[in-house]
Amino acid sequence: MPNRPARLPRAPVLLATALLGGCATFHPLPLDNGRGVSRVADLKVPASAMPTPALRAYTFDPANGLDVTEVAMLAVANDPQLRVQRDKAGVAQAQAYAAGLLPDPSVSYEHDRPTSNQPGTTDSYTASLSYDLGNLITRSARVKSARAGAQQVDLDLLWSEWQTIAEARTLFDQVYFQRKLIARLEAERAALAPVQSAITRALHAGDLTYDSASAGLNAASDVGNQLADAQRQLNLAEHDLHDLLGLDASVPLHLVGGPFTVEPNGDEVQRALADMTQRRPDLLALQAGYRAQNQTLRAAILAQFPALTVGFVRARDNSNISSAGFSVSLSLPLFDGNRGNIAIERATRQQLHDEYSARLLTDRNDVQRLLADLESDRTQLAALRLHAAQLAQAREVAKTNYAAGRLDWPTYLAIRANSLAADSTLLALEQNSHENAIALDALVGNWPDASLANNDQQHWSAKNAKNSR
């Protein structure tokens, strides 16, 4: 019988053509070398995309300047680091999607052509279709682990958004209080200018020696040094705020209104601590990570069972005899048995268990410390405000007496220096108190009740799922 040309089975060819037709295609994504937004008024911040109910209920309108709430909203919407973290959340969602896909079957084809023209010979082939059933055994655990891992990434992102809100409020406060300090120092420098001129004239006239005039000369210099240091601190705070808001350094920041304020009492803090583990996104993220690791360990335990692969075979030998059958392969877990991976996943689970306990203990202690600091600040602020007000009154009286010639300039400068020191200390303490309140607010979870916390997480999860598609 003469040799006949081999024919490829039609079904595999058609199947391969159909599968290739549904493949993904590549599209380049050029890097963006632009400078970004040049005006705050050009930015759009949808309130519906905000991570907390308070921000979602607020209207973003930068036309009349940015208040502390609008700064927080803009930070959440435009922070470059949050954008990168949202991309990571998209990767986690894609990984969860990939974990849910069924494994593809395998197709193999072998073709042999006789090398000699012996009578009765023909081309031979072997075609097989096989499927790894062992992958299905661990699929459920892998899917649950991937979904819990994606939820952990989502909650970590939500926690980062909460932290960004706290950072925006803190930077707003720093800019606010540094500007107030600069205004106070500039006013002091202007008030000292006539005294400095009088001292300089007295030195030139010989009425004063440099030893006796040193206190007067140092007064203006000290204020100038404090002013330069405050300006450096303001520049740093504004730089950090530009970075957080995703704005070019040339974009002016027109901040309006006062700083963020919250004054919880001890009972409110204790109620917040009681259900903090059900509200704080980072703690919920650790819980999701622990669930994911439980499923990873479960998958490792399931993977110790023999892997089973089954298939169907169709063949024809060189004698033109056709056959059909099936194949079965089974791994023998004699040496490895996945015991190493099981030990690794079990140890990892214990590590996550202990990390969660450590985080919870540290955060609860930090909350108690911040509450104690706030209570101490309240007492100290009340006393310092009274002291600063008394020194301000003494400064005004001294100014009148100095202008009338009833008070010598060293005493006048000493009174002004004491009043300036009290005002500067008061501003620093007020800023520190506000920053402690912001930190406490972030640690306890922005004081939502349970229904708001659940709605908050559901809203954010729906928003993130929409953005990842």
Tell me what pLDDT residue 20 has: 56
Distance from C-alpha of 455 to C-alpha of 421, rounded to nearest angstrom: 48
Q: Is the pLDDT of residue 381 over 90?
A: yes
- Is domain 51-104+139-304+339-468 annotated with CATH 1.20.1600.10? yes
Distance from C-alpha of 462 to C-alpha of 441, rounded to nearest angstrom: 25
Mean pLDDT along residues 202-214: 68
Mean pLDDT along residues 239-244: 93
Q: Is the pLDDT of residue 360 over 60?
A: yes
Mean pLDDT along residues 46-72: 89
Q: Is the pLDDT of residue 394 over 80?
A: yes
Tell me what pLDDT residue 29 has: 77
Tell me what pLDDT residue 37 has: 63
Q: Is the pLDDT of residue 467 over 60?
A: no
Q: Where are the alpha helices (DSSP H) in 61-133?
A: 68-78, 80-99
Per-residue CA distances from 282 to 175, 287, 292, 364, 442 (Å): 28, 9, 15, 14, 11
Q: Is the pLDDT of residue 236 over 80?
A: yes
Tell me what pLDDT residue 453 has: 40
pLDDT category, 208, cuts 50, 70, 90? low
What are the tokens at 126?
């072997």
List phi, psi (to 5°) of 124. Answer: -115, 155
Tell me what pLDDT residue 133 has: 79
DSSP 148: H
Distance of CA 407 to the CA centre of its chain: 58
Q: Where are the beta strands (DSSP E) in 238-307?
A: none
Q: Is the pLDDT of residue 462 over 60?
A: no
Q: What is the per-residue pLDDT across 103-135, written as a single tens digit (0 to 9) for each?
A: 788 888 888 888 777 777 788 888 888 888 777
Q: What is the per-residue pLDDT across 154-195, written as a single tens digit (0 to 9) for each?
A: 999 999 999 999 999 999 999 999 999 999 999 999 998 888
Question: Token match 């075979």: residue?
Answer: 313
Q: What is the per-residue pLDDT across 311-323, written as a single tens digit (0 to 9) for each?
A: 888 888 887 888 8
Mean pLDDT along residues 204-228: 78
Tell me what pLDDT residue 452 has: 38
Q: What is the per-residue pLDDT across 1-33, written as a single tens digit (0 to 9) for each?
A: 444 444 545 555 555 565 555 577 777 877 766
pLDDT category, 346, cuts 50, 70, 90? very high
pLDDT category, 455, cuts 50, 70, 90? very low
- 131 versus 38: the higher-pLDDT residue is 131
pLDDT category, 363, cuts 50, 70, 90? very high
Distance from C-alpha of 76 to C-alpha of 81, rounded to nearest angstrom: 10
8 Å CB contact between 55 and 76:
yes
Distance from C-alpha of 436 to C-alpha of 453, rounded to nearest angstrom: 23
Q: Is the pLDDT of residue 143 over 80?
A: yes
Tell me what pLDDT residue 449 has: 42
Q: Give the residue from 60, 385, 388, 71 showing the smallest Cα distance to 259.
A: 71
- The helix (H) or strand (E) run that includes residue 152 is helix 134-205
What are the tokens at 205?
């006239």
Q: Compute the mean pLDDT over every residue in the chain, rounded to the nearest whole number.
A: 83
Q: Is the pLDDT of residue 459 over 80?
A: no
Tell me what pLDDT residue 454 has: 44
Q: Output the DSSP codes for 365-408.
A: HHHHHHHHHHHHHHHHHHHHHHHHHHHHHHHHHHHHHHHTTSS-
* Least confident piece of the model among 202-216, 239-253, 323-337: 202-216
- 266 versus 294: the higher-pLDDT residue is 294
Q: Give the residue from 87, 416, 436 showing the smallest Cα distance to 260.
A: 436
Q: What is the per-residue pLDDT across 276-304, written as a single tens digit (0 to 9) for each?
A: 888 889 999 999 999 999 999 998 998 88
Tell me what pLDDT residue 391 has: 96
Q: Is the pLDDT of residue 225 over 80?
A: yes
Domain segments of the chain as ranges = 51-104+139-304+339-468
Mean pLDDT along residues 136-159: 88
Q: Is the pLDDT of residue 384 over 50?
A: yes
What are the tokens at 391?
């020194």
pLDDT > 70: what percent of the chain? 87
Q: Is the pLDDT of residue 411 over 70?
A: yes
